[in-house]
Chains A and B, each alone.
Chain A
Amino acid sequence: AQSVAQPEDQVNVAEGNPLTVKCTYSVSGNPYLFWYVQYPNRGLQFLLKYITGDNLVKGSYGFEAEFNKSQTSFHLKKPSALVSDSALYFCAVRDRDFNKFYFGSGTKLNVKP
């Protein structure tokens, strides 16, 4: 079975400070990992993905994520948070054979001025 866990329901950070949103995964074989962001009453927007290659993945809006195979983690990071980054963030793992995603429960990011 494939799954992801987001251990924090909410993350609070001050504008300008670095942010980290945590994700751990459980899959058989090599994982396909994704981060999506959701703004209120909106669908999911793709941020970045890890399929293979460099463990540090760069994505949209200045976000990046670090794949760590030994810790089975895929944490989302940004060097300097913006108030506009406040949203709900979902980590997901894609099924190996089909375009089907298993999502975590989400982490609400609050960036305060």
Chain B
Amino acid sequence: DAGVTQSPTHLIKTRGQQVTLRCSPKSGHDTVSWYQQALGQGPQFIFQYYEEEERQRGNFPDRFSGHQFPNYSSELNVNALLLGDSALYLCASSRTYRGTEAFFGQGTRLTVV
């Protein structure tokens, strides 16, 4: 079982650009959540996808958007990047949106310069 996999592991982008991060959930999981972890802070919930729809959203601007595909994999898109978007982006998967556990990927480190 490969667990939750994210790509790429590291990314450097210029302010104003757009970025797409990818996540494949753990086998048997159909719910994907995205978190942003700024340096020295705990992860903050961005949004959650279940059945290809955004089910829950945290306090993040519309520049942050996502998608879930029929195979349950997911993408996180961030437009008009700001320096403050630099962070570790974590994907978590669970067995349905009511699952009690979440399994996290290793994250994508995004640096905006």
**Contact surface of A with B, Cβ cutoff 8 Å:** 32, 36, 41-46, 49, 51, 90, 92, 94-95, 97-106
- 27 A–B contact pairs at CB < 8 A? A36-B104, A41-B107, A42-B107, A43-B90, A43-B104, A43-B106, A44-B92, A46-B101, A46-B103, A90-B43, A94-B100, A98-B48, A98-B55, A98-B56, A99-B31, A99-B48, A99-B97, A99-B98, A99-B99, A99-B100, A100-B33, A100-B58, A101-B35, A101-B43, A101-B45, A104-B42, A106-B41
Q: Is B102 an interface residue (CB 8 A)?
A: yes
Report the interface size class on chain B.
20 to 34
Q: Given the complex, which residues of A lie within 8 Å of B44, measured CB to CB? A: 103
Instruction: Tell yes or no: B105 within 8 A of A by CB.
Output: yes
Give complex CA distance A42, B33 in Å.
17
Cα distance, A106 to B42, chains bound together (Å):
6
Tell me if A100 and B48 are in contact (CB < 8 A). Answer: yes
The verdict on B22 contacting chain A, using a C-beta distance below 8 Å, is no
Chain A to chain B: the 10 pairs with minimum beta-carbon distance, closest first: A103-B42, A43-B104, A44-B104, A99-B94, A43-B106, A43-B107, A103-B43, A99-B99, A105-B42, A43-B105
Which residues in A have their C-beta under 8 angstroms from that of B109?
A: 41
